[in-house]
A and B are shown apart, each in its own frame.
Chain A
Amino acid sequence: MYLMSEGGHTIPVVAPLEAEGAYTLLWLVVALPLLGAAVLLVGGRRTDRWGHLLGTATALASFVLSVVLFVDLLGREESERQVAQRLWEWMEVGGFSVGMDLLYDPLSALFLLLITGVGTLIHVYSIGYMEHDPRRRRFFAYLNLFVAAMLTLVLAENYVVLFLGWEGVGLASYLLIGFWQHKPSAAAAAKKAFVINRVGDIGLSLAIALMFVTFGTTSFTQVSELTSGAGEGTLTALGLLLLLGACGKSAQVPLQAWLLDAMEGPTPVSALIHAATMVTAGVYLVVRSNFVYELAPHAQTVVVVVATVTLLWGAVIGCARDDIKKVLAGSTMSQIGYMMLAAGLGVYGYAFAIFHLITHGFFKANMFLGAGSVMHGMADDVDMRRYGALRKAMPVTFLTFAMGYLAIIGFPLFSGFWSKDKIIETALVESPVAGVCALVGAGVTGFYMTRLMLMTFFTDKRWKEGVHPHESPSVMTVPLIVLAALSVLGGILLLGDWIVGWLAPVVGEAPHHEPPVPVIVLTVLTVAVVAVGVAAAWFLVGRREVARTAPQDVSFAVRAARADLYGDAINDAVVVRPGRRLVTLLLGVDHRGADGLFTGGGSAVAGVGGLLRRVQNGFVRSYALSVLAGALIVVIALMVVNS
């Protein structure tokens, strides 16, 4: 069943079939990692010795199950590729009912593979990375929890279950970012991520409330049918609220500030947050809600604006940072911006958003784990100014990282080339301004990634004394090799426009547009811009001596970029400080006003009591007088009433 949009293309309605056969095991995909987390957390120290193996095994089992389901889905007719499973009735209030419903369709299928696949590799890698951490078992429990929450998010059939996964992801990210809680900076970063995510969650929960008010339901199936009957104002509001939620989770401007601090967590966590889970949730939300956005063009425009700002913002931050993880974090922001941009372009871009999300999942996980491997060899130093010439010391890490690097800058034939090129191309056709920004962003990406590459693996040795870089154990390098292979080959998803056709039942099919200039010209243009960025990095970083400490006499622009374009300062000035002032004010009102009222009332009663107790003077005769007076009053009253 399809609805028609104003543009004349079709918007698919979610119309799943009842789960049967292998699909009745759908719940296991979520339940296995959840069970792993529960066993590891409840089992406590008894599970210390084998906890990491159990955690990895549950993720792997989930992955195997996802592959089985995916293969089965591949064999089905296009119209039968949506399967829903009702686990139980979750809540029922009057006419409103929410079921614990799961939806398995081409979109969730891809996410399932990405989350469990990359998630499993990260689990394997963590066995080596966290080997000497006394709390490794707990770490794996949280990783499992993270994966389970993200799987709930992408398998949900209604927005309430999605919200459950959404909050689960928020909780797990809080626990993992603050995993080294003995460091105050890590604890603060975790809190920051949590609080900023709450701001986004307000948007999502309001969106759910609005949906309930407007449609009386939150299930994708029903909402997708009913959107065409709603007013455009409502849908725009809905789209903006969903976007606010997506901004929080996906670190889009203005809720981007948590992402760089989130680097305080162990590196596998950064890989998990940036590649397979968490930040992709926002993109998923927008793509999943395509039936809302397609009918709310204004909301779509806002998505495009936010995405464009973010992709440049993140790229600029990536250029200035010397901390290898923060450069990668800036690049994640920027790449998620690309995905959001594609998602904002509507039916032309949804498939490419998901395509880039998947290839980005591969190469960003690859690079984060590679960065972790470098840190592992460099005694946990993250400052690139103290790296250099590591390609000989860590050949495997270097080669795998190089694959990720070539993929992210969009080197021809690597996965990122296909996915990013498609987004830039679509943007240039659909929204030229955003397209040009995306093109510039691609050049900047080439610059900062080359800078990272040069400072880490090339140039001269700037190691601190006593640091002896060494290759990581194979439990860490094997996931790197697998991810590197995926980074290279991820582009085959686009072969014959496979992914576009695959996602068509979920996001609809775009009407054919002939681009104003041949596609090949756009591709060459993109590659040329990237080449300029790479060359700039070569001349500015590769051919010069790299300073051991960051130079301080720099221009305003560099200082701004180093301070994350004053993102924190803006938050402070706009939200934190006025908030503090408001709280101080309210506290004063509370202390003087409310408290005064109540303590004043209390002391008044006490004072009156103090006076009244004088009546109890111990003289029997005065009591007798009181009794007499009372009796007289009763008699007089009786006489008055009876007369």
Chain B
Amino acid sequence: MDTTPYVVLSAILFTIGTVGVLTRRNAIVVFMCVELMLNACNLALVAFARQHGNLDGQIAAFFVMVVAAAEVVVGLAIIMTIFRTRRSASVDDASLLKY
């Protein structure tokens, strides 16, 4: 079967995610965009696995989901802490660690 639409969709989703990460200030939104990029990747992996007729890509997609779940836990915890101390969830406000 032709996987082109899936790959194109994946690329579109990834681009949306990237632009979101680069342009949005709200940490939660940035986080969601990261998730979007991860899932765009998952989509591509599954599409290519289908195209090649083996299961490697699908297994990789599962791994990505597990890692993403773990990452969400840690990431949200960090965002919570930052929000509690600064009363803000803007990623630009937390910029003390620099030159």
The judgment on whether A and B are partners is yes
**Residues of chain A whose beta carbon lies under 8 Å from any beta carbon of chain B:** 613-614, 616-621, 624-625, 628
Is the beta-carbon distance between A624 and B21 smaller than 8 angstroms? Answer: yes
Q: Knowing A619-B92, A620-B91, say if A625 contacts B22 (CB, 8 Å).
A: yes
Question: Is the C-beta of B95 less than 8 angstroms from some C-beta in chain A?
Answer: yes
Q: Show 11 residue pairs from A and B whose CB-CB distance is below 8 angstroms, ordered by the A residue.
A: A617-B98, A618-B98, A618-B99, A620-B30, A620-B92, A621-B22, A621-B23, A621-B92, A624-B21, A625-B22, A628-B22
The 9 A-B residue pairs whose C-beta atoms are closest, nearest first, are A618-B98, A618-B95, A613-B99, A620-B91, A616-B99, A616-B98, A617-B98, A619-B95, A624-B21
**What separation, in Å, do the CA atoms of A467 and B13 have in the docked complex?**
114
Question: Is the C-beta of B96 less than 8 angstroms from some C-beta in chain A?
Answer: yes
Residues of A within 8 A of B30 (CB): 620-621
**What separation, in Å, do the CA atoms of A614 and B30 have in the docked complex?**
24
Residues of B within 8 A of A620 (CB): 30, 91-92, 94-95
Residues of A within 8 A of B99 (CB): 613-614, 616-618
Interface of B is mostly: loop
Q: Contact size class for B? A: 10 to 19
**What separation, in Å, do the CA atoms of A619 and B25 have in the docked complex?**
10
Residues of A within 8 A of B22 (CB): 621, 624-625, 628
Is the beta-carbon distance between A621 and B97 smaller than 8 angstroms? Answer: no
**What separation, in Å, do the CA atoms of A617 and B91 have in the docked complex?**
13
Give per-residue flags for B8-44: 1 if the beta carbon is below 8 A from chain A beta carbons, else 0.
0000000000100111010000100000000000000
State the Cβ distance, B21 to closest chain A Cβ, in Å.
5
**What separation, in Å, do the CA atoms of A628 and B18 have in the docked complex?**
8
**What separation, in Å, do the CA atoms of A614 and B92 have in the docked complex?**
16
Chain A residue at minimum C-beta to C-beta distance from B18? A628
**What separation, in Å, do the CA atoms of A628 and B98 have in the docked complex?**
20
* Residues of B63-99 whose CB lies within 8 A of A: 91-92, 94-99
**What separation, in Å, do the CA atoms of A620 and B30 have in the docked complex?**
10
**Residues of chain B whose beta carbon lies under 8 Å from any beta carbon of chain A:** 18, 21-23, 25, 30, 91-92, 94-99
**What separation, in Å, do the CA atoms of A398 and B56 have in the docked complex?**
115
**What separation, in Å, do the CA atoms of A618 and B25 have in the docked complex?**
14
Interface of A is mostly: helix
Is the beta-carbon distance between B98 and A621 smaller than 8 angstroms? Answer: no
Taking A620-B30, A621-B22 as given, write out 12 further A-B residue pairs in contact, using a Cβ cutoff of 8 Å, ordered by the A residue number: A616-B98, A617-B99, A618-B95, A618-B97, A618-B98, A618-B99, A619-B91, A620-B91, A620-B92, A621-B23, A621-B92, A624-B22
**What separation, in Å, do the CA atoms of A614 and B25 have in the docked complex?**
21
Residues of B within 8 A of A628 (CB): 18, 22
Is the beta-carbon distance between B21 and A617 smaller than 8 angstroms? Answer: no
State the Cβ distance, A335 to closest chain B Cβ, in Å.
80
Residues of B within 8 A of A613 (CB): 99
Residues of A within 8 A of B95 (CB): 617-620
State the Cβ distance, A298 to closest chain B Cβ, in Å.
75
Residues of A within 8 A of B98 (CB): 616-618
**What separation, in Å, do the CA atoms of A632 and B98 have in the docked complex?**
25
| Contact with A618, one of B18, B21, B96 (Cβ below 8 angstroms) | B96
State the Cβ distance, A618 to closest chain B Cβ, in Å.
3
Residues of B within 8 A of A617 (CB): 95, 98-99
State the Cβ distance, A438 to closest chain B Cβ, in Å.
85
State the Cβ distance, A624 to closest chain B Cβ, in Å.
5
Chain B residue at minimum C-beta to C-beta distance from A627? B21
**What separation, in Å, do the CA atoms of A617 and B18 have in the docked complex?**
20
Is the beta-carbon distance between B96 and A621 smaller than 8 angstroms? Answer: no
**What separation, in Å, do the CA atoms of A618 and B98 have in the docked complex?**
5
State the Cβ distance, B53 to closest chain A Cβ, in Å.
23
Chain A residue at minimum C-beta to C-beta distance from B27? A620
**What separation, in Å, do the CA atoms of A620 and B94 have in the docked complex?**
8
**What separation, in Å, do the CA atoms of A618 and B90 have in the docked complex?**
13
State the Cβ distance, A634 to closest chain B Cβ, in Å.
15
**What separation, in Å, do the CA atoms of A354 and B21 have in the docked complex?**
100
State the Cβ distance, B88 to closest chain A Cβ, in Å.
14
**What separation, in Å, do the CA atoms of A614 and B98 have in the docked complex?**
8
Residues of B within 8 A of A619 (CB): 91-92, 95
Chain A residue at minimum C-beta to C-beta distance from B24? A621
Residues of A within 8 A of B25 (CB): 621
Chain B residue at minimum C-beta to C-beta distance from A613? B99
State the Cβ distance, B56 to closest chain A Cβ, in Å.
20
Chain B residue at minimum C-beta to C-beta distance from A625? B22
Residues of A within 8 A of B96 (CB): 618
State the Cβ distance, B60 to closest chain A Cβ, in Å.
18
Residues of A within 8 A of B97 (CB): 618
Residues of A within 8 A of B18 (CB): 628
Residues of B within 8 A of A614 (CB): 99
**What separation, in Å, do the CA atoms of A370 and B72 have in the docked complex?**
103
State the Cβ distance, B80 to closest chain A Cβ, in Å.
17
**What separation, in Å, do the CA atoms of A617 and B96 have in the docked complex?**
9
**What separation, in Å, do the CA atoms of A613 and B30 have in the docked complex?**
26
**What separation, in Å, do the CA atoms of A625 and B94 have in the docked complex?**
17
State the Cβ distance, B83 to closest chain A Cβ, in Å.
15
Residues of B within 8 A of A616 (CB): 98-99
- Most B C-beta atoms less than 10 A away, residue of A613, A618, A625, A628: A618
